[in-house]
Amino acid sequence: MTIRYIEFADGNVLTAEQLLDVQDNGVIQVDTFAELTALNPTVNAAYVEADHAFYVKKADNSWGSVGGLAVVQAAAPSAPQVGQIWFDTDAVLPNPAKYSYEGTETVTNTGTYQALSNLTGVTVTLTEPAWVHVSYGVVEPVGDNTAGVNYGVQLSGATTRALGAGDAATSYVAGKNSASNDFYAIFNAGSTVVTPVARKTGSGTVSVVNPYMNIAPIRWS
């Protein structure tokens, strides 16, 4: 065992070799991790040659590696050390994208939302959970004066989110108003399907013109 330190007693004479060893190897060095347990209890840091890593004593008196502070690999470390950073090579956020349908689609459901036939669901696949901004709307609702439209998107798959009371983009046909809304959500790792849905309000007939949605991943959660 090549522990590069010596416990000196009062009055010991130090040789030049010993002083140079302390000067050149200020960090205590051992051959293997197992040898850390043989160090003096007052030793709080040491270098292990076999691991090419620096270790420090933690609050529970166990030894933890400080080596590999910067890691570049395809996945995050399974047990990262305090202060460790890494770059996940395959964790790339998808680009923001807008999806739309240029045309008119009739909406018949009143109680429940129906998925649009012409603007279908989009799958967003993530390697890690991430914050995503989803915005959506219709350029114009068309129909008689007794009906309106609620439009929004629902999430299914790796992430589930029903359309809430404050999520719907709502317009009454009498006003011929554009309608839009948005929300932020954490998308889980895996494949999440973002589906545009709509329902009519009132008793008349209604259609949506040029429905669209924007999906913009923001950052890892």
111 and 62: one domain? no
- Where does residue 68 fall: left (phi above 0), alpha (psi -120 to 50 degrees), or beta otherwise? left
Which of 88, 106, 136 is the last residue before a domain boundary? 88
68 and 160: one domain? no
Structural domain includes residue 4: no
The pLDDT tens digits for 135-188 are 999 988 777 778 888 999 999 999 999 988 889 998 877 666 788 999 999 999
Could you give the number of structural domains in the chain? 2
Structural domain includes residue 42: yes
The pLDDT tens digits for 41-57 are 778 888 888 888 888 88
Structural domain includes residue 5: no
164: containing domain: 97-220
116 and 196: one domain? yes
133 and 182: one domain? yes
pTM score, whole prediction: 0.64
Per-residue pLDDT, averaged over 202-213, amounts to 89
Structural domain includes residue 61: yes
Residue 65 is encoded by which pair of tokens?
């590696």
What are residue 22's phi and psi, to 5 degrees? -65, -40
Place of tokens 């009055």: 11
